[in-house]
Chains A and B, each alone.
Chain A
Amino acid sequence: MVSPILELTNINKSFGHVHANKNINLKINKGTIHGIIGENGAGKSTLMSIVFGLYQANSGTIKVNGKKINLRSPKDSIINGIGMVHQHFMLVENFTVLENIILGFEGELVFGKNLEKAKKDLKDLCDTYKLNIDLNSTISDLSVGFRQRVEILKSLYRGAEILILDEPTGVLTPQEVDELFKILRSLKEEGKTIVLITHKLIEIMDLTSEVSVMRQGEMVGHTKTENTNKEQLAEMMVGRSVLLRLDKSEVKAGEVLFSVKNLTVKDDLDVTRVKNVNLEIRSGEILGLAGVTGNGQTELLEALSGIRKVESGEIYLEGKKVSDSQNFLDPRELKDKGLAHVPEDRQRMGLVTDFKAYENLIFGYHDQQPFSKSSVLNHRDIISHSKKIMEEYDVRPQSPNLITSNFSGGNQQKIILSRELNENPKVLLVGQPTRGVDIGAIEFIHQRLIDMRDRGAAILLVSVELDEVLSLSDRIVVMFDGKIVGEKENKNVTDRELGLLMAGVV
C-alpha cells in the first residue's frame, strides 16, 4: 500500500455567494501522475490554488506526507515541496529566465556568490530533465512551450516534490504537448508526484494513472485510469451522457460567398500581423482556421468583420468588393449585407457584460423593427423575443432581465450566437466559439454551426482548439506568423500534420 503524499480532507471555499469547493476529499499517491478533470468552473483551479497557498480554504485540512500543514501563502506550500505551473504563466516578461527563477529565493541581499551557485544548479536540473533552456534569454523572446518549461524549472529549483499543472496544454501545439508529456514522465521516473488539471479527456487517458472528477464544486469520483474510459469520464463530468462525436453530413459546397485576396493587416503597434492572405469560403462549407494563439488570427478576424483597417488587399462578399485599403464597409454595413461576426473575446467585444441579457440579445439590431420604432425601444416585444430566443438556444437561466455577467461562459456564448445566427446570415465569422464553454454547451454550439452550414451559410471558424477545427471543418487552413502555411481537405488529415504546420516547421 502506497502512502499518500498529499491528502485533502473536507476542503470548503466560497467566493461571496459562490461555493466553489464543497467538502472536497482527495488523496494523491507519491510518484504518480494524478489527473483532476472537470468542466470550466467546476472548481479544479480553485482547489489547486488552495493547495498552493494562493487562496485560503474556509475549512478543511491539508496533509503533506501525513503531516498536517497550515498554508497561509505560497511560501508555506513551496517550503512543503509543492510547486504549481499556472494556466497563465507567473513570469515577469522583461526579466531573464534566471531572474524569474531566483525571484524570492535569491539567498543573498546583494547578488554574488549564490547567483553563481544558482546558475550551476539550474544547468544541472536542465540537463537531468532535458529542458534545454538558455538561462540568459528574456521571457518575452521565448515561445509559449519554453515559457512553460521555465515554470517547471522554477518549481523544481524551489524544491517541488509535488508539481501541479493547471491546464498545461491549452496553448501548445501537438508536438509541444508531446515534449511536455515526455518531461512529465521523466519527472515521474525521478520520483516526483504530478497533479494534472485538465478538461481534456484524452490527456487523462494518455498520461495519468489515477483520476479524480469534479463537477460544480464537488468531487464526484476517483478511479484508476485503466478502469475507465473517455465516455464514462465525460458522463461523470457533465452529469449526463454526452455525444463526443459529431454527426455531420457530406459537404455540399456551392458558389463562393466570401473571399479574401492578398490581405495584409497591421496591429495597433503598427506591426504587420496578417501577411498576404488569400481565402475562399463557399456556401455550405465550414472553413477551419487553425494556428497557435497570436499568429495573426485575431487581426485577420477583425479585418474581415470591419473592425480593423485593411492595409492592402481586398475582401469580397458575394462577389462584390466590400473592403480594401481605401474604402471599407463598417461592421454595421457588413451586417446589413449578411455578414455576422461572433468575436473571439466575447466579454470584451461580443457583450456588454454589465447590461441585461435582453439588451445584449438585440444589440446591433436594436434600432430595427420590431425592437424599436422612431428610436424608442419597444420593451414588450424585446422581452418576448428574448424569451423565445433564450428557449430556442437553451440559455440558462431563461431570465432576460438578468445581468449578463451572471451567466456562465457557455451561456454568454449562446447569447451572442443566438443574436448573430437569428438573422440567418449568409456568411458567419466565428472566433473561439467554445473557449471556456462547458462540454454540454460545446455539443449544442457545434450542432448549431453545422445546422447553419447545412442551410447554405459560409462559415469561417477560427479556433486554437485543434480538436474543434478537426471535428467541424470541411477544409482547414493553418496560419503561422501571419501567413497561410497550408491548406488541407478535412479527410484523413491528422492533428500531427496540422501541428507541424502550426509550429511553422513545414
Chain B
Amino acid sequence: MEFLSDIASLINSTLRISTPLVFAAMAGIFAERSGVIDFSLEGKMLMAAFVAAVGSYFLGNPWLGLLLAIIACVSLSMLHGFASVTYKGDQVVSCVAINILIIGLTTALAAAWFGQAGLTPTLNSDQRFLEVNLPFAESLRDVPIIGTIYSDILSGHYIFVYLAYLSVPLVFWVVFKTSFGLRLRAVGENPSAVDTAGINVFAMRYKALAINGVLIAFAGAHLSTAVNANFFREMSAGRGYLALAAMIFGKWHPKTALVACLLFGFTDALQIRLQGVELPAIGEIPVQLIQAIPYVLTVVLLAGFVGKAIAPNAIGQPYIKER
C-alpha cells in the first residue's frame, strides 16, 4: 500500500511541477508557429511571477495580480515583436535582451520597494491562490483505486494546474481547427503565401505574440502566488528554457509538447523524491547528480531519440516584403 501511495504522490507532484512548463510550452507554440523564436519565455515567466506577487500584495487579490502579470507579459511580447517583427532585428538577441533585463529589473525593483534584494513580502491566504478540493474528494478517498486517482492525484491542486491541462486541448483546437490557426501555421511556414492571400503578416505575428504573453503570465503567477507565497530572485530557474526544449521535443505540437512537459516534470518529481533515499545495490545518489537528470534527459532526448525536429520553415526570419 505504501508503494501505491508513493506512486500517487509522485504523479501528483508531476502534475504540479509540469504546470508552468505546460503554460510556457503552449505560449511558445503560438510564437514559434507564427515564425517568431521565443527564448524570452524564461524572462517573461520571471516577470509574471514578480508582477503577480507584487500586484497581489498591494491590491490584496491574486486575480488582480494575475491580470497585471498578463498585462506585463503581453507588453514584453509586444516589445519582442517591435524589435524583431517590425524592426526585423535578430529574434534571439531580442529575447536574450529581455531575459537579462528582467533578471535585473525584478531584483532591483524588489530592493527598491521592499528593501530586500530580489525578495517580495510573503502573501497571506487572501493574497494568494489556494488549493482547490474537487467535490466529493473527501468522501471518495476510501474507495479503492478511484479514491486514489480522484482524491489523491486529481484533487487538491492549485487552479493553475487545472487551467494548464485544459489549455492543451484548447490550444490544439485553435491551432488546428480554426481559420486563425490555419493562418498562424501558414505565417510561420511561408509568410509570402499569407501576404499574397491578403492577410497582414505583421498583424498575425503580433496577435500570436499577444496570446503568447497571456499564457506565459499564468506560468509566472503559478510560481509566485500559488506554489510559493512570494517572489524570489530568479525563481523561474530555467523553466522557460526547459519548456522551450519540451516544445521542440514535441515538434511544436500541443499534444506531444504536453507529453514532453510531463516527462520533464516527472524527472523533476522523481529527483525530489530520490533525494536522500537509499537505493538497493547503489546506495544514496548524490543530490547534484539527481538534480541534473531533467537537463541530461533534455540533451539526450533532443540529440538522439526524437529524430530531427522540423521547425516551422520561416522561423527566425523577419518578413521582408520589398527586396
Q: B-contacting residues of A (Cβ < 8 Å)? A: 15, 52, 54-55, 73-76, 78, 84, 86, 88, 90-95, 99-100, 102-106, 108-111
**Complex-state Cα separation, A84 to B192, whole angstroms:** 13
Residues of B within 8 A of A73 (CB): 195, 198, 200
A111 touching B196 by the CB < 8 A rule? no
Known: A54-B196, A78-B198, A104-B198. Contact between A110 and B322, CB under 8 A?
no
Given contacts A90-B190, A92-B189, contact A104 B183 (CB under 8 A): yes
**In the assembly, what is the distance between CA of A401 and CA of B261, in Å?**
56
Taking CB as reference atom, which chain A residue is nearest B314?
Answer: A92
Minimum CB–CB distance from B29 to chain A (whole Å) comes to 16
Compute how far the CA of A142 lies from the CA of B158 in the bound complex, rounded to whole angstroms: 49
- Using known A-B contacts A54-B321, A105-B197, determine if residue A111 contacts B178 with beta carbons closer than 8 Å: yes
Closest CB-CB distance, B201 to chain A, in whole Å? 10
B197 and A91 form a contact (CB under 8 A)? no
Question: Are B189 and A52 closer than 8 Å at their CB atoms?
Answer: no
Tell me how many residues of B have a C-beta within 8 Å of chain A.
23
Point out the residues of chain A lying under 8 angstroms from B298, CB to CB. none
Given A95-B186, A95-B189, the answer on whether A54 and B197 have CB atoms closer than 8 Å is no
Interface presence of B205 (CB below 8 A):
no
> Once bound together, how far apart are the Cα atoms of A73 and B204, in whole Å?
15
Return chain A residues, CB-CB under 8 Å to B193. 90-92, 100, 103
A103 contact from B178, B183, B323, Cβ within 8 A? B183
Report yes or no: B189 in contact with A86, Cβ–Cβ below 8 A. Answer: no
Chain B residues near A78 (CB-CB < 8 A): 197-198
Judged by a CB distance under 8 angstroms, whether B180 is at the interface is yes
User: Which A residues lie within 8 Å of B180 (CB)?
Assistant: 109
Nearest-Cβ distance from residue B198 to partner chain A, whole angstroms: 3
Is the Cβ of B177 less than 8 Å from the Cβ of A75?
no
Which of B189, B195, B196, B321 counts the most chain A CB atoms within 10 A? B196
**A111-B198 contact, Cβ under 8 Å, with A92-B189, A100-B193:** no
Inter-chain contacts of A104 with B (CB < 8 A): 183, 194, 197-199
B256 to chain A, nearest CB (A): 16
Shortest CB distance B75–A (Å): 27
Nearest opposing residue in chain A for B193, CB measure? A90
Residues A94 and B321 in contact, CB atoms below 8 Å apart: no
Q: In the complex, what residues of A have CB within 8 A of residue B186's CB?
A: 92, 95, 99, 103
Contacts of A110 in B (CB 8 A): 177-179
**Chain B stretch 151-195: residues in CB contact (< 8 A) with chain A:** 177-180, 182-183, 185-186, 189-190, 192-195
Residues of A within 8 A of B198 (CB): 73-76, 78, 104
Distance in angstroms between the alpha carbons of A158 and B33 in the assembled complex: 25
- Is the pair A93, B313 in contact by a Cβ cutoff of 8 Å? yes
Closest to A115 in B: B179
In the complex, A289→B177 CA distance in Å?
A: 47
Contacts of B177 in A (CB 8 A): 110-111
B180: nearest chain-A partner, CB-CB = A109
In this complex, the member of A86, A94, A105 whose beta carbon has the largest number of chain B beta carbons within 10 angstroms is: A94
| A103 near B322: Cβ-Cβ < 8 Å | no
Ranked 6 nearest A-B pairs via Cβ: A75-B198, A104-B197, A106-B179, A90-B193, A90-B196, A92-B189
Task: Give the chain B neighbours of A108 by CB distance below 8 A.
Answer: 179
Q: Which of B81-131 contact A (CB under 8 A)?
A: none
B281-323: which have CB < 8 Å to A? 313, 321-323
- Chain B positions 192-218 with a Cβ under 8 Å from a chain A Cβ: 192-200
Contact present for A109 and B179 (CB under 8 Å): yes
Bound CA span A88–B198, Å: 17
Contact of A15 among B185, B313, B323 (CB under 8 A): B323
Interface centre among B183, B200, B323 (most CB of A within 10 A): B323
User: How distant is the Cα of A104 from the Cα of B190 in the complex, in angstroms?
Assistant: 13
Q: How far is the CA of A109 from the CA of B193 in the complex (A)?
A: 19
Chain A proximity of B14: nearest CB distance (Å): 33
Q: Are B321 and A103 in contact (CB under 8 A)?
A: no
Of the A-B pairs whose beta carbons lie under 8 Å apart in the complex, a sample of 8, sorted by A's number, is: A54-B195, A73-B198, A75-B198, A90-B196, A92-B193, A94-B313, A103-B186, A105-B197
Given contacts A109-B179, A111-B177, contact A92 B185 (CB under 8 A): yes
A102 touching B182 by the CB < 8 A rule?
yes
Known pairs A90-B190, A110-B179; list 8 more (Cβ under 8 Å): A74-B196, A90-B193, A90-B196, A92-B185, A93-B190, A100-B193, A103-B183, A103-B193
Q: Which residues of B contact A103 (CB under 8 A)?
A: 182-183, 186, 193-194, 197, 199
B322 A55 Cβ-Cβ under 8 A: yes
Per the bound structure, the CA–CA distance linking A391 and B21 in Å amounts to 65
Most-contacted residue by chain B among A75, A92, A111 (CB, 10 A): A92
CB pair B178 A86 closer than 8 Å: no
Whether the Cβ atoms of B179 and A52 lie closer than 8 Å is no
Most buried by A among B178, B185, B189, B193: B193
Nearest Cβ on chain A to B320's Cβ, whole angstroms: 12
Give chain A nearest CB distance to B312 CB in angstroms.
Answer: 9
Closest Cβ of chain A: how far from B274's Cβ, in Å?
40
B190 surroundings in chain A (CB, below 8 A):
90-93
Distance in angstroms from A426 CB to nearest chain B CB is 40
Chain A residue nearest to B200 (CB atoms) is A73
Q: Are B197 and A99 in contact (CB under 8 A)?
A: no
- CA–CA, A111 and B177, complex, Å: 6
Closest A residue to B188 using CB positions: A92
State A109–B198 Cα separation when bound (angstroms).
17
Report the minimum CB–CB distance from A91 to chain B (whole Å): 6
Which A-chain residue is minimally distant from B312 (CB atoms)? A94
In the docked arrangement, what's the CA distance between A464 and B323, Å? 26
- A contact residues around B182 at 8 Å (CB): 99, 102-103, 106
Q: Give the Cβ gap from A50 to chain B, nearest Cβ, in Å.
A: 11
**A84–B196 touching, CB < 8 Å:** yes
Which residue of A78, A86, A91, A104 has the most chain B CB atoms within 10 A of its CB atom?
Answer: A104
A379 to B199 alpha-carbon distance, docked (Å): 53
Chain A residue numbers with a CB within 8 Å of B194 are: 103-104
B199 → chain A, closest Cβ, in Å?
5
Residues of B within 8 Å of A99, CB to CB, are 182, 186
